[in-house]
Amino acid sequence: MCGIVGYIGTKQAYPILIKGLRRLEYRGYDSAGVAMIGQSGSLNVYKTKGKVDNLTDYCTDKDISGCIGIAHTRWATHGEPSARNAHPHYSQSHNLAIIHNGIIENYADIKSRLQEKGVTFASDTDTEVLVQLVEYIMSSKNLTLLEAVQTALYQVIGAYAIAILDKRDPHQIIAARKQSPLVVGIGEGEFFLGSDASPIIEYTDKVVYLEDGNIAVIRLGEELKVMSIHGEEQALQVKKVDIDLGQIEKGGYPHFMLKEIFEQPECLTNCMRGRINVEGNQVTLSAMIDHHQKLLKAKRIVIVACGTSWHAGLIGKQLIESLCRIPCEVEYASEFRYRNPVVTKDDVVIAISQSGETADTLAAIQLAKERGAFIYGICNAIGSSIPRATDTGTYIHVGPEIGVASTKAFTGQVTVLSMLALCLADKLGTITKEEYQLMVSELTRIPKKMERALQANEQIKHLAMIFTYAKNCLYLGRGYNYPVALEGALKLKEISYIHAEGYPAAEMKHGPIALIDSEMPVFVIATRDRLYEKVISNIQEVRARGGRVTALVTAGDELISQYADHVIELPDTLECFQPLIASIPLQLLAYHIAVCKGKDVDRPRNLAKSVTVE
């Protein structure tokens, strides 16, 4: 949510900042802006509504010189998306400029205090309040920028990652974080700043992830200094980032989303590498080795997550309950954190998050920790906030996911949940050795089966044209396929803006059936499993009301084609792993429908990839 980039060094800052913004655009894209201290010593701020391309068009005839700068791509919280509310924000004197990700909750209070002192504001944002406060403190108390930032942050309630420039000191960027991610890249005689490492990795692999409450003093020609808000110097933890540039580029695909859909077989192979042995009959998770006592003693497991990760959690619940016989609940992190839930030291809380930064999931972890639960994280972004806040966990290792609609992270999360459930079940003795080995070896065959599922791409591309003008769609599934139906509907909503609902197929008769007519496409996951016959009955209920059915069926199924308008064949697998296969055609369907409608697939309106505000 909002992307931050910064540069200080000997090169021209503008091209580095713009490239960085493009890499971070997935975090928000309703406006963008850049601030640089130019050759003449002026502090130039340029900002526009809309995407980074609008900003570069706007800057074509501007002074973009300077070797120090900060830049921002915004996802609006306070103040409508407009050039006026875009970041960077000047202070009243135009000596300072700030960029910010997060929310200053007590901004109204601070703003009215400053207005009483005669400060005037140029935007409706909470961010501008912070830069005005810093300037007011600097001038009224005669403090340095660093001292004024420290003092201002004491007064601020909320979450922030910020970077500030002062044109009177053109060799310094001050940055700080609380609950919003910020990474400093250390190059040869230059420094970079980013909301994540993606704008940095092209230049250096040495990074420092700022901790909550840290302030970084980034000065040209000096060592990076990190201190607490109280001014105590912090030991530098320099980490090596292990992302290669190809992973964050489109690699010949028209969109990141399509690339990420097609990457899934390889991603799942990476996810299982080193965890399932070469014989394909044993799973080992390092978290299980180090913390098996805690995990095996869990009286209950609570999964907390948001969005797509929550859907993965629903599949995790079925795996854990059916394989391990441990009661498992799945909670929206945003509800859990405010519900005063019953959580005890006998519980294990699993937090699932692609970005590892979702504010609600982090807060849910905090609450569960305070109540003594053991916290297990399932994340993708290495070194992000959630893995650092958990007791242990497992990375899904699917590589950076850039498309806003999550695809490969979902299947990666389900794969880790499958491995975790198998490890636990084996240790607890709740499944037989034969069942365990059969399941482990089937899991290793999933990437190959995904490749076969991806071969339906051309068929789905044609089908997509038929559904382009639908106003509503229904997705039905049962058992393990019910969360797949939810996820399929979410994908369509997110990128094509067609209203879609996922429902347990048998629940349909308790409401949604009233919506069914010949205008309503119904997508049914009807693979051959325990509930196959039941789902066929559900399909007939839809057909009897004139509904148009597209069924996802197990390869070779000839029965369902008698009842469905269209069928998409899927390779057969065990019921519990069906979501890994069945989600692929639904991802492709949403993608192609959105493309047919001319939508911006990778940057759908109003959404952001990483939601660091509650």
Provide the binding-site residues for ligand G6P, judged by CB under 6 A. 306-309, 353-355, 358, 361, 404, 406, 607, 609-611
> Strands, E, within 274-413: which ranges?
300-305, 328-332, 347-353, 374-379, 392-395
Query: Which of these is catalytic: 51, 294, 408, 609?
Result: 609
Residue 345 to residue 374: CA distance in whole angstroms: 7
Which CB atom, from 49 or from 603, has the smaller least distance to ligand G6P?
Answer: 603
Residue type, 139: S
Of residues 45, 53, 103, 104, the one with CA closest to residue 71: 45
DSSP secondary structure letter of residue 555 = T
Q: Which two tokens stand for residue 140?
A: 């009224």
In which region does residue 271 sit, left (phi positive, over 0), alpha (psi from -120 to 50) or beta (all else)? alpha
Our answer to whether residue 294 is catalytic in this structure is no
DSSP secondary structure letter of residue 512 = G
As measured in angstroms, the least distance from the Cβ of 118 to ligand G6P is 41
As measured in angstroms, the least distance from the Cβ of 309 to ligand G6P is 4
Our answer to whether residue 509 is catalytic in this structure is no
Of residues 594, 601, 579, 588, the one with CA closest to residue 550: 588
Residue 188 to residue 190: CA distance in whole angstroms: 5
Contact 55, 14 (CB under 8 A): no
Interacting residues of 587 by C-beta distance below 8 A, sequence separation 6+:
257, 261, 405, 407, 488, 491
Which CB atom, from 353 or from 444, has the smaller least distance to ligand G6P?
Answer: 353
Which CB atom, from 404 or from 417, has the smaller least distance to ligand G6P?
Answer: 404
Which CB atom, from 125 or from 353, has the smaller least distance to ligand G6P?
Answer: 353
Contact 376, 348 (CB under 8 A): yes
As measured in angstroms, the least distance from the Cβ of 101 to ligand G6P is 15
As measured in angstroms, the least distance from the Cβ of 494 to ligand G6P is 7
Residue where the block lists tokens 């952001």: 608
As measured in angstroms, the least distance from the Cβ of 455 to ligand G6P is 26
Contact 424, 326 (CB under 8 A): yes
- DSSP three-state, residue 312: helix
Query: Which of these is catalytic: 2, 59, 67, 324?
Result: 2
As measured in angstroms, the least distance from the Cβ of 356 to ligand G6P is 7
Q: Which residue is closest to ligand G6P by CB?
A: 307
Which CB atom, from 152 or from 365, has the smaller least distance to ligand G6P?
Answer: 365
Of the CA atoms within 13 Å of residue 271, those in its CB half-sphere come to 32
Which CB atom, from 73 or from 308, has the smaller least distance to ligand G6P?
Answer: 308
The DSSP bridge pattern shows strands 239-240 and 89-90 to be unpaired
Question: Which residue numbers are catalytic?
Answer: 2, 609
